[in-house]
Amino acid sequence: MSTITLKIDGMTCNHCASHVTEELTELAGVEGVDVALNPQGTSDVVVTTSATVSDEELRAAVDEAGNYTVVDVIR
């Protein structure tokens, strides 16, 4: 297992967090998603994976969830 931290702008409520969580969870290899919501700034989303997940896949899932911006991917 490994963890990836996504820094995401634009998440303002729990509804936003649930959309992002749902899209990320659908990716192959994603075992868990933990959101530390910061409605006034950049939220931290920790993704736990059991397989390799590319930055592009993560960004695409967040984009699919709504009008959110991945500002950094920390591996």
User: What are the structural domain ranges in the chain?
Assistant: 2-74
Tens of pLDDT, residues 4-63: 999 999 999 999 999 999 999 999 999 999 999 999 999 999 999 999 999 999 999 999
pTM of the full structure: 0.97
Class of domain 2-74: alpha beta
Residues with Cβ within 8 Å of residue 66, at least 6 apart in sequence:
10, 16, 19, 20
Q: Give residue for tokens 């409605």.
A: 39
Strand stretches in the chain, DSSP E: 2-9, 30-36, 43-49, 69-74
Cα pseudo-dihedral 56, 58, 3, 7, rounded to 10: 100
